[in-house]
């Protein structure tokens, strides 16, 4: 069965082959594993990559390996963006991430603890991005490297448990993040201008909305909230609102899909370029290859904001669903 590996995999594999240190090899191998699609055709490849990773990690623990604990918290970004999932312990973060990414990590009814970041990949409408499960946020102990991982994220997803005082969990987690100078993007007006803060887009997931009584509890939760938050009731058990969640993630990361076509050929609708809103034709050319950016003579666009095959300038702002033909 064919593996159908994404283009990102081969770029990461090339970096793995040229990695000089053990730490670099482990990081790139973890990234390779995170982008491999999960289906029967990749079973052997994923098993082989995991074996190689286990050997490298074992080597890093030896005196000669010199592996550093904080390296586990430096998760290289993969795909169109990196979404970091945070929250207190026992709210179902790991189960939720495993469900969204079709991860093979073990899940059970018993509470579990994630000790290190666990990356996985998920897709929506041909956009692929990274979801990272993280250790619980607790005042008892915080890994400083975890806060650095959160600061580098493109989106923070905060998970609370509907049945375990979710309002207190939300307030406590936000307060803890604020102590480390991390805050929701839509709360910038609460801070003094020039105050050193990292502002990030946030989504709040109210987990374990598994049945009809839970829906009523969620309504009570919303009514008791003292301020408006971008909340979504979800259930890893039933799959409730998980597709909506994926769409919300794409919107919160300000991503659009742009398709390309070679002159005289049909566009490839299976592999769009995920671009930030506000990106222009010049940005797209640079993403394709530096030669395209340097040698581009003209570009034509098919889309909602233009007529088909319209000749556009390099600074034309791309729209979601645009088809671009670049001439060099």
Mean pLDDT (whole number) for 193-204: 89
Q: Are residues 139 and 117 in the same domain?
A: yes
Q: Are residues 237 and 298 in the same domain?
A: no
Mean pLDDT (whole number) for 110-133: 83
Residue 200: pLDDT over 90 = yes
Q: Which domain holds residue 280?
A: 255-327
Q: Are residues 242 and 182 in the same domain?
A: yes
What residues contact residue 96 under an 8 Å CB cut-off, 6+ apart?
Answer: 85, 159, 205, 207, 234, 236
Categorize the per-residue pLDDT at 132 as very low, low, confident or very high, splitting at 50, 70 and 90.
very high
Q: Is residue 156 part of a domain?
A: yes
Residue pLDDT, tens place only, 9-61:
888 888 887 777 888 888 888 888 888 888 777 877 888 788 888 877 777 66
Please say which residue of 203, 221, 252 terminates a domain. Answer: 252
17-26, 100-109, 121-130, 256-265: the lowest-pLDDT one:
100-109
Q: Is residue 1 part of a domain?
A: no
Q: Are residues 306 and 189 in the same domain?
A: no
Categorize the per-residue pLDDT at 70 as very low, low, confident or very high, splitting at 50, 70 and 90.
low
Categorize the per-residue pLDDT at 113 as very low, low, confident or very high, splitting at 50, 70 and 90.
low
How confident is the model at residue 63, as a pLDDT? Answer: 54
47-51, 58-62, 183-187, 272-276: the lowest-pLDDT one:
58-62
Rounded to whole angstroms, how far apart are CA atoms 49 and 30? 8
How confident is the model at residue 109, as a pLDDT? Answer: 42
How confident is the model at residue 62, as a pLDDT? Answer: 60
Q: Are residues 125 and 32 in the same domain?
A: no
Please say which residue of 234, 252, 270 terminates a domain. Answer: 252
Percent of the chain with pLDDT over 90: 57
Q: Are residues 137 and 213 in the same domain?
A: yes
Q: Are residues 235 and 288 in the same domain?
A: no
Residue 235: pLDDT over 90 = yes
What's the angle, vertex CA 292, arms to CA 290 and CA 295, rounded to 5? 105
Q: Are residues 317 and 174 in the same domain?
A: no
For the chain, what is the mean pLDDT? 87
What residues contact residue 208 under an 8 Å CB cut-off, 6+ apart?
Answer: 92, 161, 162, 163, 214, 235, 236, 237
Residue pLDDT, tens place only, 305-321:
899 999 999 999 999 99
Q: Are residues 98 and 164 in the same domain?
A: yes
Q: Is the pTM of this model over 0.85?
A: no
Rounded to whole angstroms, how far apart are CA atoms 88 and 109? 17
Kindly list the strands in the beta sheet with 231-233, ordered across the sheet, starting from the edge strand earlier in the chain. Answer: 118-124, 127-133, 82-86, 155-161, 202-207, 231-233
Q: Is residue 284 part of a domain?
A: yes
How confident is the model at residue 227, as a pLDDT? Answer: 85
Residue 68: pLDDT over 60 = no
Q: Are residues 97 and 77 in the same domain?
A: yes
Mean pLDDT (whole number) for 237-253: 95
Distances (CA, A) of 235 to 79, 84, 250: 25, 18, 19
Residue 146: pLDDT over 50 = yes
Residue 101: pLDDT over 80 = yes
Q: Is residue 266 part of a domain?
A: yes
Q: Is residue 298 part of a domain?
A: yes
**CB-side neighbour CA atoms (13 Å) of 190:** 10
């Amino acid at each position: 069965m064919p593996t159908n590996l994404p283009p990102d995999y081969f770029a990461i594999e090339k970096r793995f082959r040229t990695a000089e240190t053990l730490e670099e090899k482990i990081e790139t191998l973890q990234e390779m594993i995170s982008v491999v699609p999960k289906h029967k055709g990749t079973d052997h490849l994923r098993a082989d990559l995991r074996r190689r990773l286990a050997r490298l990690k074992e080597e890093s623990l030896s005196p000669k390996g010199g592996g550093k604990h904080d390296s586990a918290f430096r998760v290289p970004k993969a795909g169109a963006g990196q979404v970091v999932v945070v929250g207190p312990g026992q709210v179902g973060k790991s189960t939720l991430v495993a469900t969204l990414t079709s991860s093979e990590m073990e899940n059970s009814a018993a509470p579990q603890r994630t000790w290190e970041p666990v990356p996985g990949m998920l897709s929506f409408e041909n956009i692929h991005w990274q979801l990272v499960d993280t250790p619980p946020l607790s005042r008892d102990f915080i890994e400083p490297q975890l806060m650095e991982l959160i600061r580098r994220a493109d989106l923070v997803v905060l998970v609370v448990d509907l049945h375990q005082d979710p309002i207190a969990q939300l307030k406590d987690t936000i307060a803890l993040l604020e102590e480390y100078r991390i805050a929701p993007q839509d709360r910038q007006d609460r801070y003094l201008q020039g105050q050193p803060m990292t502002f990030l887009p946030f989504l709040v997931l109210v987990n374990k909305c598994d049945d009809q009584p839970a829906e009523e509890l969620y309504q009570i939760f919303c009514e008791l909230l003292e301020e408006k938050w971008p909340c979504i009731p979800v259930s890893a058990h039933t799959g409730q609102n998980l597709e909506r969640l994926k769409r919300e993630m794409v919107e919160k990361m300000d991503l659009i899909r742009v398709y390309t076509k070679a002159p005289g050929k049909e566009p490839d609708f299976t592999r769009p370029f995920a671009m930030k809103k506000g990106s222009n034709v010049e940005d797209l050319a640079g993403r394709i290859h530096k030669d395209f950016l340097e040698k581009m003579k003209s570009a034509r666009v098919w889309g909602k904001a233009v007529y088909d095959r319209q000749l556009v300038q390099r600074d034309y702002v791309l729209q979601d669903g645009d088809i671009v033909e670049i001439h060099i």
